[in-house]
Each structure stands twice: as structure tokens, then as C-alpha cells.
């Protein structure tokens, strides 16, 4: 069983801790494992996700299984899968694509992967997976994002957003959710060749709050740069999808950290292993999440900002009430 050093909190672990994690991962023998953790790379957030998952399983499952790790940044997948594996956990989009192409019939749980990336990986497969396959997505459910926005600015009735090539698939759901709450959604579309400022300016104008949706990396950067600029000019708060968004000038962001995803995955795996006749279940959104707020931005916008913990509890209560 792999023993790990004490986990550091946050997505940016210290270099020394990351070095120890990488060393421990590479030393674990593949052939002695019950569960294979397949990492997309040695990025700190993948390492921390794997660390949190193992810690949770070790705490929640007596006689816990052993773990083996393959880091795809350093090691290629072997030609044949070891039949000793009970489960393959693909951490990240690249690992998910690789395990789909790898084939086989060992159950697969994909984690720390956006919903669209998971669905895209399986859609390129010749057939629907004959084996069990499920996921814990990286994205937040849109209902959770809207709830946070409404908690931060209860009087807001006009929301705005921009859809890119990836997030365009969320348009119908977001329109339905906002309409159900009596909100007006003003939106636009942005592609790589478009001028972000010319697209964003008319969308933001006359609205109460902007919701940033994750899309292609190049569009994420472009939208973040200009929407935060317009937000400052027009006094329109922004809800982001990462802590970096908050630091850069968003009023708040909601996201699931590596620790959040790893914890949920570990609990899910433990429950599955306790019930040999059960399946991995349907793909699901993160149960655990984190909120970061920017008090300086709140003051500049004249918004009374609840504590992060208060916001978290309020969202949890609302979600439990609709179950």
C-alpha cells in the first residue's frame, strides 16, 4: 500500500511536497495494485487529487486495496491491462481519452475531467463502453452557479454570459434555469476569430451580473481579461470558475479543488467496493466544492459580502431541499 506524505492544501503545492509526491508515485509497483490511478501528467492538481483519493479510501475502507499509479507524462500504457486491477481511475481529460483507447473490460472512473471532455472521449469510441464507466466531473452544476450569484446579489434580475464552442452546449440548460427563477439571460457567442471586446461589451451592458463559463483555454483567457475590464468600468460583478478568477477581479468563484474531487472519488470507490454487486452508477457533478470571494471588489461594488462558509452552507441547504 502506497504511503503518502501529509497533503498540502490548495492547487499549488510547494515544490518540495510535489517532488516527494512524484517520487512516491513512480516507486509504486504496477503489478501489485488493486486500483490503477492513471494521471494525465505530473501537474500538482493531478497529484493532489490522487493523494486525496487514496487518503479517503484508506480512512473509510477497512482492509483497503492497494494502489498503483501510471503517470502518462512519464510512462506509456502497457499493451495489455493487468487483470488484477479492480478499477482504473483516470485523472484528467488526457488520461480519460487514453483509457478509452486502451480498451479492455475493467471498470473505469474518470475524475477531475470536464463533462464535455468525458462525453467527447466516449463519443469517439466505436461502441458504447461494454465495461462499467462513470465520472465525477470537474464542472459545477449550473444551478449551483446561479444560486451563488443570487445569494451575492439578490436584487439582480438580468444575468449575462458568453458561450464559446464548448460552453454553447450549456445554452438551453442555462436559459431554462434562469427562466425558472424569473431571471433574464442576455448572452452572446464568441469564437477564436472574434474580437472579444466587441462581443462582450453589448452583452454586459445593462445587466446586473455576468457568469463566466469555462470553455477552450484560449477563450477562457480572452474572456477573463476583457470581462474583468468591463466589469470594473460598468460596475457589473463577475462570477468565475476558479480561484484565479477571483484573485484577478471577479466578485466570487465556485469550483471544486483537487481535495474536493479526490475526497468524493475516494468515498464513491469505498462504497462501490463494499457492495460487489453494485455498479459505479451514472456520471455526476461534484458533491464538494469551494467558494472564493473578493472583499475589495465587493466594497467597490457596494455589495455586502457574506462569509465563504455562510455562502457554502446556504448553497448546501438549497440543494438538499430540492433532493
Neighbouring residues of 257: CB distance < 8 A, sequence distance ≥ 6: 10, 11, 48, 290
For the chain, the residue count is: 323
Establish if 10 belongs to a structural domain.
no
Residue 236 has pLDDT above 90, yes or no: yes
Establish if 5 belongs to a structural domain.
no
Percentage of the chain exceeding pLDDT 90 = 74
Alpha carbon distance 93, 283 (integer Å): 14
Domain count, the chain: 2
Angle, in degrees to the nearest 10, between helices 171-180 and 142-152: 40
Alpha carbon distance 35, 319 (integer Å): 32
Alpha carbon distances (Å) from 139 to 37, 153, 173, 178: 21, 22, 14, 18
Mean pLDDT, to the nearest integer, of 99-113? 94
Establish if 9 belongs to a structural domain.
no
**C-alpha angle 287/288/294, rounded to 5°?**
135
Do residue 115 and residue 179 come from a single domain? no
Do residue 187 and residue 265 come from a single domain? no
Alpha carbon distance 196, 218 (integer Å): 11
Beta carbons of 165 and 215 less than 8 angstroms apart:
yes
Beta carbons of 95 and 309 less than 8 angstroms apart:
no
Do residue 251 and residue 262 come from a single domain? no
Over the range 198-220, which residues count as b (16 or more CB within 10 Å of their CB) and which as e? Answer: ebbbebbeebbbbbbbbbeeebb
Structure confidence by residue, pLDDT tens digits, 255-289: 999 999 999 999 999 999 998 788 999 999 999 99
Report field, pTM of the whole predicted structure over 0.95: no
Do residue 186 and residue 296 come from a single domain? yes
Establish if 267 belongs to a structural domain.
yes
Alpha carbon distances (Å) from 7 to 56, 109, 234, 270: 12, 22, 41, 20
Do residue 212 and residue 147 come from a single domain? yes
Q: Which residues pair with 185 in a beta bridge?
A: 159
H/E run at residue 239: strand 238-240
Percentage of the chain exceeding pLDDT 70 = 88
Residue 128 has pLDDT above 70, yes or no: no
Do residue 132 and residue 266 come from a single domain? yes
pLDDT tier at 24 (50, 70, 90 boundaries)?
very low
Alpha carbon distance 114, 286 (integer Å): 11
Domain encompassing residue 96: 15-138+257-274
Which letter does DSSP use for residue 67 in this model?
A: E
Do residue 312 and residue 209 come from a single domain? yes
Do residue 121 and residue 159 come from a single domain? no
Residue 148 has pLDDT above 70, yes or no: yes
Do residue 168 and residue 297 come from a single domain? yes
At 19 the pLDDT is 44
Higher pLDDT, 62 or 69: 69
Do residue 149 and residue 53 come from a single domain? no
Do residue 158 and residue 93 come from a single domain? no
Establish if 283 belongs to a structural domain.
no
Alpha carbon distance 146, 156 (integer Å): 11
Establish if 90 belongs to a structural domain.
yes
Beta carbons of 45 and 21 less than 8 angstroms apart:
no
Structure confidence by residue, pLDDT tens digits, 169-213: 999 999 999 999 999 999 999 998 999 999 999 999 999 999 999
Establish if 282 belongs to a structural domain.
no
Beta carbons of 184 and 157 less than 8 angstroms apart:
yes
Do residue 155 and residue 198 come from a single domain? yes
Q: What CATH number is given to the structural domain containing 109?
A: 3.40.50.2300
* 3-state SS string for 256-310: CCHHHHHHHHHHHHHHHHHCCCCCCCCCECCCCCEEEECHHHHHHHCCCCCCHHH
Amino acid at each position: 500500500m502506497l504511503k503518502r506524505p501529509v497533503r498540502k492544501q490548495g492547487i499549488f503545492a510547494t515544490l518540495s511536497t510535489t517532488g516527494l509526491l512524484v517520487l512516491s508515485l513512480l516507486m509504486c509497483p504496477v503489478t501489485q495494485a488493486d486500483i490503477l490511478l492513471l494521471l494525465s501528467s505530473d501537474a500538482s492538481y493531478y497529484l493532489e487529487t490522487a493523494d486525496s483519493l487514496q487518503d479517503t479510501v484508506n480512512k473509510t475502507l477497512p482492509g483497503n486495496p492497494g494502489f498503483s499509479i501510471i503517470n502518462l507524462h512519464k510512462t506509456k500504457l502497457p499493451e495489455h491491462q493487468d487483470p488484477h486491477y479492480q478499477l482504473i481511475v483516470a485523472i484528467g481529460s488526457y488520461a480519460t481519452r487514453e483509457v478509452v483507447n486502451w480498451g479492455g473490460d475493467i471498470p473505469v472512473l474518470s475524475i477531475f475531467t470536464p463533462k464535455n471532455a468525458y462525453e467527447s472521449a466516449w463519443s469517439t469510441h466505436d461502441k458504447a463502453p461494454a465495461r462499467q464507466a462513470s465520472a465525477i466531473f470537474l464542472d459545477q452544476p449550473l444551478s449551483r452557479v446561479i444560486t451563488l450569484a443570487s445569494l451575492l446579489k439578490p436584487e439582480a434580475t438580468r444575468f449575462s454570459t458568453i458561450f464559446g464552442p464548448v460552453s454553447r452546449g450549456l445554452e438551453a440548460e442555462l436559459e431554462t434555469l434562469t427562466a425558472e427563477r424569473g431571471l433574464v439571460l442576455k448572452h452572446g457567442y464568441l469564437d477564436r476569430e472574434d474580437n472579444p471586446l466587441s462581443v462582450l461589451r453589448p452583452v454586459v451592458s445593462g445587466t446586473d451580473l455576468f457568469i463566466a463559463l469555462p470553455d477552450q483555454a484560449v477563450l477562457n483567457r480572452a474572456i477573463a481579461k476583457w470581462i474583468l475590464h468591463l466589469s470594473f468600468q460598468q460596475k457589473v460583478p463577475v462570477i468565475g470558475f476558479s480561484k484565479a478568477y477571483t484573485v484577478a477581479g471577479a466578485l466570487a468563484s465556485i469550483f471544486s479543488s483537487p481535495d474536493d474531487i479526490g475526497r468524493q472519488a475516494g468515498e464513491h470507490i469505498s462504497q462501490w467496493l463494499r457492495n460487489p454487486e453494485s455498479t459505479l452508477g451514472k456520471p455526476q457533478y461534484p458533491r464538494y466544492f469551494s467558494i472564493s470571494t473578493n472583499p475589495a471588489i465587493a466594497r467597490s461594488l457596494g455589495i455586502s459580502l457574506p462569509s465563504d462558509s455562510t455562502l457554502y452552507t446556504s448553497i448546501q441547504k438549497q440543494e438538499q431541499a430540492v433532493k
